[in-house]
């Protein structure tokens, strides 16, 4: 994947570029907002990672300019400002995700992965499937191997999110933000409990385990190899 | 806010003690006036009596008994009012001349001064008349009484006393009215200062006490208080900046440390290493969470009236949070009960912050309620407030500790071993303050009940 990192802090930029390259991405780097905007306009990147506070032109202005120029490249904003109002501002400017510094690298990778897949345009589907697990988004029915599974509304949303990101690592924070719209760290393993409940419904009584725990990162819904 | 009652204000009490001193001195002054006036009147009476007696004595020496009798008769005839008392009697006290019907029933005194009651001299009323006189024995044994009816004197003395009393009453009323007016005036200005102070205590640090630039003592007091507030705001800003900077500056290297650990984990192969690296990463995450919570509280506390508050349905927020935590309670076999009204309850708030407030309280409730314990969450609409109550059946918080648990890093002795950073309730308090919602801790017998009153959105 071809990524653009716009970050003025030398150490942070080096760390980001190195980590992303090690994860198999092709990374370009810009050190200020003006350069970043120029590079984003000239090239077709898969995702742009941009710091909110930049010299010359701040991150949100870059995003606004890009969107005004009908450039639809997914943008992930990095920021030290983590309040809800800051986040809303960031998303209103036209960015696709907002990650508060400091963050775990696995979190960034998972989110980038999610953004790249989203641009593939899978959102208009009416049903999703992984192996023999199928969900119907219209009738909100879940079946595994043809057997109907009863889910609570929130469990359905959790499963839907995991299905939409099937094969990707989904972090606990991503689940909190997208399934519950919670932007704080609950400090407890509530998410794990919700996952194990869901697992009890969709995986128990079946030979293959679809919902897997990725140690130190999060979860992944995928068909076993 | 509780108003100061006029009668309990120190100004009023001070004014009233001044009024009492004033009235006391007025009483003393008027007492003296009365005393000296009546003494003077008595002296003048005695002098008049003496002069009259001397005149009669001279007459007697000049023209003998006959002349004396004549003079007395003439004087009695000319004195129509009858305030002069004259009586001439022989040795046997038989009246010879004068305006007394009979010799008064009185004993003589060495200096000749006598006081006796006059009979049959009423002015149509029953007030007895008294007389003061000198009893003089003439050389040939004739007895002479020269005196005055004291009735008129008594009347004028009473008139003086009455006038003085009325004057005293009038002065007293004026003093009390003046005192009340004065106390009211002072109280109004103190009330103004108190009201401003209350608004400041309730979080509006930008509020100042109004000054009228007269430069009087109250104006100076208000100015000084305002300057003190400016200074406090400045100091608070400073403290906040410093703690923000510390947390911020430590957070960045800590994040880098965590990232290095991440790299180390992906580089190292052996299982034992990965375990200890995982543990280090977890601890770094906990530290980062603490710093984030601190920064978050600092930011919330520095905002007094945020403009991003919008209409939020508290029923939905509470139901979502309970649903989110319910599986955790179920793991501990706790019964989590929720009672909310069927309709929505709209308050002015921030959904994210309110969710975190409820999440922190539910987290605590689940943590401190025993296995198979009981947690009850309720939302009660009142006329002015929507009351959120979260109660658990845990150990509760002793009364003397209740005010302290909202302080940063404060942890009860009994809960030191359980996980947590001591910031959960500080954040709850900060969010509640931001929503102008008073928070109370009470006894759930057993356990803790947290009660928060969210001001209702005025429709």
- Looking at the DSSP assignment, which residues form a beta bridge with residue B116? B131
Task: Answer yes or no: is B203 within a domain.
Answer: no
Nearest CA to CA, how far is A161 from chain B (Å)? 16
Nearest CA to CA, how far is A42 from chain B (Å)? 32
Which residues in chain A have their CB less than 8 angstroms from residue B289's CB?
A: 185, 187
Which residues in chain B have their CB less than 8 angstroms from residue A193's CB?
A: 327-328, 331
| Residues B364, B271 share a domain | no
**Do A50 and A6 contact (CB within 8 A), yes or no?**
yes
Architecture in CATH of A127-221: Orthogonal Bundle (1.10)
Tokens 């001279």 -> residue: B58
Please state at what angle helix A190-202 crosses helix B314-331, rounded to 10 degrees. 70
pLDDT of residue B270: 60
pLDDT of residue B198: 85
Answer whether B248 sits within 8 Å of A80, measured CB to CB: yes
pLDDT of residue A142: 92
| Residues B149, B235 share a domain | no
Eight-state DSSP code of residue B395 = -
pLDDT digits (tens, 9 = 90+) for B128-155: 788 888 888 887 788 888 888 888 888 8
Cα dihedral sign, B31-B37-B41-B43 = positive
| Residues B424, B395 share a domain | yes
CATH number, position B289: 1.10.287.130
Tokens 């608070």 -> residue: B236
Which among B302, B332, B350 is the end of a domain? B302
Task: Answer yes or no: is B190 within a domain.
Answer: no
Cα dihedral sign, B318-B319-B323-B324 = negative
Task: Answer yes or no: is B192 within a domain.
Answer: no
pLDDT of residue B1: 46
Most B CBs within 10 Å, among A15, A89, A102, A158, to test the B interface: A102
State which residue of chain B sits closest to A181, comparing Cα positions. Answer: B352
pLDDT of residue B306: 67
Answer whether B292 sits within 8 Å of A101, measured CB to CB: no
Q: B78: Cβ–Cβ under 8 A, 6 or more apart, which residues? A: none
| Residues B56, B124 share a domain | yes
Task: Answer yes or no: is B176 within a domain.
Answer: no
Nearest CA to CA, how far is B234 from chain A (Å)? 24
Nearest CA to CA, how far is B402 from chain A (Å)? 23
| Residues B334, B226 share a domain | no
Of B252, B278, B419, which is closest to A216 when you measure between CB atoms?
A: B278
pLDDT digits (tens, 9 = 90+) for B179-198: 888 888 888 888 888 888 88
State which residue of chain B sits closest to A19, comparing Cα positions. Answer: B263
pLDDT of residue A204: 86
Q: How many domains does chain B have?
A: 3
Answer whether A105 sits within 8 Å of B296, measured CB to CB: no
Distance CA A186, CA A178 (A): 15
Task: Answer yes or no: is B288 within a domain.
Answer: yes
Angle at B49 between CA B48 and CA B51, to 5 degrees: 65
Of A184, A193, A194, which is closest to B356 when you measure between CB atoms?
A: A184
| Residues B434, B359 share a domain | yes
Query: What is the pTM for the complete model shown?
Result: 0.62
Tokens 């990374």 -> residue: A27
Which of the four pLDDT bands, split at 50, 70 and 90, describes residue B122? low
Task: Answer yes or no: is B178 within a domain.
Answer: no
| Residues B267, B327 share a domain | no
Q: Please report how many Cα atoms fall inside a 13 Å half-sphere around the Cα of residue A207, on the Cβ side.
A: 4
Answer whether A104 sits within 8 Å of B285, measured CB to CB: yes
Which of the four pLDDT bands, split at 50, 70 and 90, describes residue B428? very high
Q: Which CATH number fits domain A2-118: 3.40.30.10, 3.30.70.2740, 3.40.50.2300, 3.40.640.10?
A: 3.40.50.2300
Range with the largest mean pLDDT of B26-40, B107-121, B146-160, B276-290: B26-40
Q: What does pLDDT average to over chain B? A: 84
Which among B249, B271, B302 is the end of a domain? B302
Which among B262, B283, B302 is the end of a domain? B302
Considering only residues B179 and B380, tell me which one the structure prediction assigns the higher pLDDT.
B380
Task: Answer yes or no: is B293 within a domain.
Answer: yes
| Residues B130, B255 share a domain | no
pLDDT of residue A124: 67
Considering only residues B243 and B162, tell me which one the structure prediction assigns the higher pLDDT.
B162
Answer whether B323 sits within 8 Å of A154, measured CB to CB: yes
Q: Looking at the complex, does the CB of residue A8 fall below 8 Å from at least one CB of chain B? A: no
| Residues B446, B363 share a domain | yes
| Residues B315, B371 share a domain | yes
Is residue B247 over pLDDT 80? no
Q: Looking at the complex, does the CB of residue A180 fall below 8 Å from at least one CB of chain B? A: yes
Answer whether B256 sits within 8 Å of A15, measured CB to CB: yes
**pLDDT tens, chain A, 225 aa long:** 899 999 988 888 988 898 899 888 899 999 999 999 999 999 899 999 999 888 888 899 999 999 999 888 999 999 877 676 778 888 888 899 999 887 888 889 889 988 887 655 555 678 888 888 999 888 889 999 888 999 988 999 999 999 988 888 899 989 998 899 888 888 788 999 999 999 999 988 888 889 999 887 889 998 887
Distance CA A37, CA A30 (A): 9
| Residues B341, B293 share a domain | no
Provide the Cα torsion B64, B69, B70, B75; round to 10°: 130
Domain boundaries, chain A: 2-118, 127-221
Task: Answer yes or no: is B161 within a domain.
Answer: no
Which residues in chain A have their CB less than 8 angstroms from residue B255's CB?
A: 101-103
Answer whether A102 sits within 8 Å of B255, measured CB to CB: yes
**C-alpha A76: how far from chain center:** 9
| Residues B419, B341 share a domain | yes
**Do A112 and A103 contact (CB within 8 A), yes or no?**
no
Answer whether B359 sits within 8 Å of A182, measured CB to CB: yes
CATH number, position B93: 3.30.450
Answer whether B292 sits within 8 Å of A105, measured CB to CB: no
pLDDT digits (tens, 9 = 90+) for B46-97: 999 999 888 888 888 888 888 888 888 888 888 766 778 888 888 777 888 8
Range of the domain at B16: 7-156
Q: A54: Cβ–Cβ under 8 A, 6 or more apart, which residues? A: A6, A7, A8, A32, A33, A36, A62
Is residue B386 over pLDDT 90? yes
């Amino acid at each position: 994947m071809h990524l653009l990192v716009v970050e003025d802090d030398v150490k942070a930029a080096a760390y980001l570029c190195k980590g992303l390259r090690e994860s198999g991405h092709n990374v370009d780097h810009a050190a200020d907002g003006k350069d970043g905007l120029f590079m984003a306009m000239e090239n077709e990147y898969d995702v742009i990672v941009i710091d909110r506070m930049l010299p010359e032109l701040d991150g949100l202005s870059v995003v606004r300019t890009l969107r005004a120029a009908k450039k639809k490249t997914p943008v992930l904003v990095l920021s030290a400002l983590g309040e809800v109002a800051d986040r809303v501002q960031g998303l209103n400017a036209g960015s696709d995700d907002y990650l508060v510094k400091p963050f775990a690298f696995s979190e960034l990778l998972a989110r980038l992965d999610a953004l790249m897949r989203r641009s593939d345009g899978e959102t208009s589907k009416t049903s999703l499937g992984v192996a023999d697990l199928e969900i119907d988004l219209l009738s909100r029915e879940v079946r595994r191997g043809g057997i109907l599974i009863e889910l609570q509304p929130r469990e359905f949303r959790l499963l839907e999110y995991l299905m939409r990101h099937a094969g990707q690592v989904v972090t606990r924070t991503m689940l909190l933000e997208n399934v519950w719209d919670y932007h704080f760290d609950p400090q407890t393993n509530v998410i794990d409990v919700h996952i194990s409940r869901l697992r009890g419904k969709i995986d128990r009584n079946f030979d293959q385990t679809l919902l897997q725990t990725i140690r130190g990162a999060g979860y992944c819904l995928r068909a076993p190899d | 806010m509780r108003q100061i009652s006029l009668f309990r204000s120190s100004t009023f009490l001070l004014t009233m003690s001044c009024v009492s001193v004033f009235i006391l001195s007025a009483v003393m002054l008027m007492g003296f006036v009365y005393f000296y006036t009546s003494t003077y009147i008595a002296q003048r009476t005695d002098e008049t009596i003496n002069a009259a007696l001397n005149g009669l004595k001279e007459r007697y020496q000049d023209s003998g008994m006959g002349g004396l009798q004549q003079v007395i008769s003439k004087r009695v005839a000319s004195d129509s009012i009858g305030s002069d008392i004259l009586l001439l009697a022989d040795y046997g006290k038989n009246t010879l001349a004068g305006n007394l019907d009979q010799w008064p029933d009185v004993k003589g005194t060495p200096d000749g001064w006598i006081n006796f009651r006059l009979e049959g001299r009423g002015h149509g009323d029953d007030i007895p008349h008294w007389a003061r006189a000198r009893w003089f024995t003439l050389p040939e044994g004739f007895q002479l009484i020269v005196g005055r009816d004291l009735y008129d004197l008594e009347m004028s003395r009473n008139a003086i006393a009455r006038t003085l009393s009325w004057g005293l009453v009038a002065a007293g009323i004026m003093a009390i009215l003046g005192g009340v007016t004065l106390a009211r005036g002072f109280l109004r200005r103190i009330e103004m200062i108190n009201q401003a102070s209350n608004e400041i205590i309730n979080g509006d640090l930008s509020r100042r006490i109004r000054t009228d630039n007269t430069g009087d003592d109250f104006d100076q007091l208000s100015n000084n208080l305002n300057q003190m507030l400016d200074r406090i705001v400045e100091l608070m800003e400073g403290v906040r900046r410093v703690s923000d900077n510390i947390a911020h500056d430590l957070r960045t290297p800590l994040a880098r440390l965590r990232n290095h650990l991440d790299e180390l984990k992906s580089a190292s192969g052996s299982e034992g290493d990965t375990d200890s690296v995982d543990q280090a990463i977890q601890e770094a995450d906990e530290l980062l969470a603490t710093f984030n919570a601190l920064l978050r509280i600092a930011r919330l506390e520095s905002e007094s009236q945020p403009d991003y508050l919008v209409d939020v349905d508290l029923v939905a927020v509470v139901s979502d949070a309970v649903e989110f935590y319910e599986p955790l309670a179920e793991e501990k076999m706790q019964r989590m009960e929720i009672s909310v009204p069927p309709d929505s309850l709209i308050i002015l708030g921030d959904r994210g912050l309110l969710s975190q407030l409820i999440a922190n309280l539910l987290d605590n409730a689940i943590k401190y309620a025993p296995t198979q314990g009981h947690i009850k969450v309720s939302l009660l609409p009142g006329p002015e407030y929507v009351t959120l109550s979260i109660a658990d059946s845990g150990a509760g918080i002793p009364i003397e500790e209740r005010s302290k648990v909202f302080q940063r890093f404060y942890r009860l002795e009994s809960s030191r071993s359980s996980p947590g950073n001591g910031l959960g309730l500080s954040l709850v308090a900060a969010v509640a303050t931001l929503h102008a919602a008073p928070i109370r801790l009470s006894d759930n017998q057993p356990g803790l009940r947290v009660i928060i009153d969210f001001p209702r959105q005025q429709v």
